[in-house]
Amino acid sequence: MVIQHKGSEMRADPAPGAAIEKVEITSFTVDVPNFQRNYKSNIIAGSMVYTPGAVYKRPILMVKITAKDGQTGEYANYGTTGSFDIAAAAAKIAVGNQWHERELIWRSARRACRPGNAYGLSFIDTALWDLAGKAYGASLTTMLGGDRKRVKAYASCHNGDRLDNLPTKEAVSDFFLGLKEKGFKGFKMHSWHEGDKWEEAENVAHMRATLGERTELMLDPACVFDSISDAIFVGRACEEAGFRWFEDPLRPLGVGIAQHKALREALNIPILQTEHVTAPEAKADFFLNGGTDLLRFDIHYDLGITGALKTIGFAESVGTTVEMHGPSPVHRHLIAAMQQTAMYEVANVSPAMDDPSPEIYTCGYSDNVNAIGQDGMLPVPQGPGIGVSYDWDLIRRNTVATQTITLDD
């Protein structure tokens, strides 16, 4: 084995034909009509909200990895702030390593990306798993040992607003009843931005009364309550209505173990936290110290598929459930391979938005609410790797920035 210099570092020369030779990172946008981020309101505080007549150019990140043996892997989805730069840093770690060395790349890139968030690493890691699946001719579900080909889904709506897109409890239930007719068996409300405990509690009772006793219902206030007493008040309404869980009620971000432990001890309903608590170690700490009953995970926030497997393994060992945050073909695969019965979230839909995912696919993959089966389930992609293909013509037309990382960088 030959040891060669890469900058100031020493690295084992990878086997011929198996090294990652380049990583292409592309930032592009898709148009989201009648929505915009509102930074003018201190109540809405930058959230994407219904804005008639507006067109939000929502940023997407695409990572494509090419190895010397010709294998490629790619992944695209909504990109969070800073994802592009962190993906570039993680790519500099990845090139030169063999494409199967996901764990080594993951560990090294985490260290290289400190102290900032590692969102961009998530895309590198996920693209590497896609590459591996294509190389082995196996779907991600198969690689993970899973057997399910369909996953049970629920619909979650936007935060309510006052512009005739879920402005009242009646509008919320009417919308969900329409989705129930399509086949959905579960529904989650994201609260109104004002965090009025009386309105929230009334909505909880109204959802149960109108949607029926055998419908799975959840509430995610999205961190709108400043007072733990208000959160407990609404949590008790969820408890009385037999909701499946109560999620992220407290400002500002749902990251404090002590306050959520107090919330858990005051309520007799499962608490779902850790959407904003990043990485397997922090999620384990949050659970072990009493801050939550269930764990939230998102491959885009939580270090990709490699991070997911560590979190899921922990959760299964202590007997709790990992609920995936938001839609993604990767989340369908992960749920298909879990021991636990988790539900797939078709997140942030409303009368003004029927598809929460970027419409960037050429393979028929869809999170449109009309894709649900009458059995309340959605299919898991069956092709090799993640099992989706992307509209590269659309990507090129809407590209904002690109960077290619090679061994020379």
**Measured at the alpha carbon of residue 190, what is the angle toward residues 244 and 118, in degrees to the nearest 5?**
95
**What is the model's pLDDT at position 117?**
77
**What is the model's pLDDT at position 409?**
81
- Find out whether the peptide bond into 252 is cis, omega within 30 degrees of 0: yes
pLDDT in tens, 286-337: 999 999 999 999 999 999 999 999 999 999 999 999 999 999 999 999 999 9
Among 20, 28, 21, 132, CA closest to 392: 28
The chain-wide mean pLDDT, for the chain, equals 94
Q: Does residue 247 register a pLDDT over 90?
A: yes
Q: Quick one: average pLDDT of 92-103? A: 97
Q: Does residue 62 register a pLDDT over 80?
A: yes
CATH says 142-379 is which class? alpha beta
How would residue 81 be classed by pLDDT, with cut points 50, 70 and 90? confident
pTM, two decimal places: 0.94
Q: Give the C-alpha distances (Å, rounded to integers) separating 314 from 63, 104, 234, 321.
A: 28, 20, 30, 10
| Residues of the chain by 3-state class (helix, strand, coil), percent to 5 | 35, 30, 40
pLDDT in tens, 208-222: 999 999 999 999 999
Q: Does residue 3 register a pLDDT over 90?
A: no
CA distance 21 to 115: 27
**What is the model's pLDDT at position 403?**
98
Where does CATH 3.20.20.120 sit in the chain?
Answer: 142-379
Where does CATH 3.30.390.10 sit in the chain?
Answer: 3-137+391-406
**What is the model's pLDDT at position 53?**
97
* Percent of the chain's residues with pLDDT above 90: 90
Which fold is adopted by the domain 3-137+391-406? Answer: Enolase-like; domain 1 (3.30.390)
How would residue 340 be classed by pLDDT, with cut points 50, 70 and 90? confident
Q: Does residue 195 register a pLDDT over 80?
A: yes
Residues 6+ apart with CB under 8 A from 88: 25, 120, 403, 405
